[in-house]
Amino acid sequence: MKQSEAKERIEKLRKEIENHNNRYYILNQPVISDFEFDLLLNELETLEKKFPQYISPDSPTLRVGNDITREFEQYEHSYPMMSLGNTYSEEDLRAFDARIQKTIEEQAGYVCELKFDGASISITYNNGILTRAVTRGDGIKGDDVTLNVKTIKSVPLRISAENIPSEFVVRGEIVMPRDVFDRLNEERIRTELTPFANPRNAASGTLKLLDPRMVSSRSLDCLIYFLLSDELPHNNHFDNLKKASDWGFSVPDSIRFCKDIEEVISFVKYWDSKRKNLPYDTDGIVVKVNSLEMQEKLGYTAKSPRWAIAYKYKAEEVTTRLLSVAFQIGRTGNVTPVANLEPVLLSGSTVKRATLHNEEQIALLDLHINDMVFVEKGGEIIPKIVGVDHSFRNDSSRKVEFILNCPECGTPLIKNDGEANHFCPNYLHCPPQIKGRIEHFISRKAMNIEGLGEETIDLLYSENLIRNFSDLYDLEEEQLVPLQRMGEKSASNIIKSIKRSSETPYNRVLFALGIRHVGETVAKTIAERFITIESLINATPGELTDVREIGPKIAASIVTYFSDNENLEIIERLRQAGIKLKNEAKKINKGGKLQGKSIVISGVFQIHSREEYKELIEMNGGKNASSVSGNTSFILSGENMGQSKKERAMDLGVPLFNELEFLNMLSEE
């Protein structure tokens, strides 16, 4: 390869790898398998060794993937969180062993651990108390997710064992059990939310939620694989893990000490099939030199320890023919390309379709109709195409082109900057979007209208009885009785349920409207800040983004929704039907415990949200203030309270109360 060609290829690989890193760590939307990613990284590493003049300090071969997000504070790791080198063959494991023996000139013992597929975490304990939990981040610093990790039941908040180090760090993997993942995705699919690709994405996404209560509801687990301290109880990795288990940490009992590489390979072969019976996803085996003295002697590369390696199992894969590509429209207008395949057996079931995610993945795969494609399940909801066997392609094959117009209504598709998916903007008149929004409106977590399923909505739409969800409130029992599979009792129950839905709280009504990017949690947050629909309709983008959890994308979507006259007409018809379009007035106890008190809230809370505490203050006669002054009665102080507020309070002698003290104060009354 010429130097100019090498430089061009290196630059292209770096951009492609950074894009995949962003999709994996930040967006939780990987479009290629780990194996394909490793091939790209290995190619780049090979080229950089051959052409060292083009090595750059920001090359992905020298850096750990980065999961840092702006919503959290960042903290440096006491011990850097490095990545591991990967291998997919026994030969590479033997080569790893040979390099070890050459350096230390004696037989190394190894510790083998299942490589659980989740989100890496580093947890610090001081004097036995959990003080901070930080994500991998870029390996040097990561996001502080302490409050979320404290909700995980397998993570001890306090260690009471004897002779523990004054400060130590445990490293582990935050994982989501498969059964929890399946339930979560079933719920997301029912509510027309994009399902998580696999349990790793679900665990990683959950760990970055801003509401610890929602994190707690998802039953995450934390499996420990490392103990670090300047005062370790033992001089080897295996016994230190066993000690961590004695202290109350969840250390998998699958870990094994292997005296040589042959025992390591036997362990790898044993778990190739057995791992499928575990409650968690695994994608390989981690092999570590057991002796800490040997680890120190072997040292590190720029981003990986020389004394450890990850053996990756390849996901089950089959080859079949791509027959066609269909484009489906969801309730929010998102366009999802789906590959129709020649039926093939994969992981015990017959596969006929595979997800293609978006235009970018189709382009990356360079798909042509009648291609022989590699299909993999690997934890996906439905299988995905991971590659093409180009040796079967002929000159007459037709390249797969992403559509320009909606296949249902013909409207030109739109793709916003920073978003991966195209969508149809004709949300008021595109049939699958109309029916999808009505199905969302009646769903259990929205208006909870019983008796109306997908088939019934389709029937009402085809009979021209409804064209949007406000039409539901004009339906008469006599209109429903003659319909196929209906009858008087069913019709009566549906009308009663529609009428009962007028009691639905305002925040659930907002969720039911189906505003793009406004989910259940965001709808609740909006309802707490904008207590009437009028205040929300008139809100500016700046007022919206001032609210926690609302970024520019959500704000723009809300403004767009309420700038449409047809949407405003639908809302007016809901008002006429008696639907709650404002928060109910809260009963204020004028003689309450907080009467006449001015209270500042600062920090992050576990028991209630900031908005709920503001409401409690007002209901008990108090006043919420934003800044500390001589008139401040006290500060309700959470974790990570602002330093400037704390210093100001000390100067003025303003007392601080934590959550429990505040709630006890209210309960005394």
Which positions ≥6 away from 77 have C-beta within 8 Å? 122, 134, 137, 139, 140, 141, 142
Q: Which residue has the tokens 């406004």?
A: 518
Which member of 2, 12, 50, 115 is catalytic?
115
Q: CA–CA distance from 75 to each of 83, 133, 227, 390 (Å)? A: 18, 9, 19, 47
Residue 415 falls in the annotated catalytic set: no
φ/ψ of 140, rounded to 5, equals -95, -45
Rounded Cα distance between 192 and 189, Å, is 5
| HSE-CB of 565 using CA atoms within 13 angstroms | 0
Count the Cβ atoms, other than its own, within 10 Å of residue 467: 13
Q: Which residue has the tokens 């599979």?
A: 485
**Inter-residue contact 566 to 469 (CB < 8 Å):** no
Cross-strand pairs, 326: 338
Rounded Cα distance between 130 and 652, Å, is 31
Rounded Cα distance between 616 and 342, Å, is 60
Give one DSSP letter per residue of 482-528, joined into a string: TSTT--HHHHHHHHHHHHHGGGS-HHHHHHHTT-TT--HHHHHHHHH
Rounded Cα distance between 641 and 636, Å, is 10
* Token couple for 99: 């390099």
Give one DSSP letter per residue of 253-294, joined into a string: TT-EEESSHHHHHHHHHHHHHHGGGSSS-EEEEEEEESBHHH
Integer Rg of the chain from CA = 29
- DSSP letter (8 states) at residue 326: E
Rounded Cα distance between 99 and 298, Å, is 10
**Inter-residue contact 544 to 558 (CB < 8 Å):** yes
Count the Cβ atoms, other than its own, within 10 Å of residue 309: 26
Rounded Cα distance between 378 and 240, Å, is 33
Rounded Cα distance between 642 and 223, Å, is 33
Cross-strand pairs, 569: none
Alpha helices in 366-503 (DSSP H): 431-442, 454-462, 477-480, 488-500
Rounded Cα distance between 40 and 30, Å, is 14
Residues carrying an active site annotation: 115
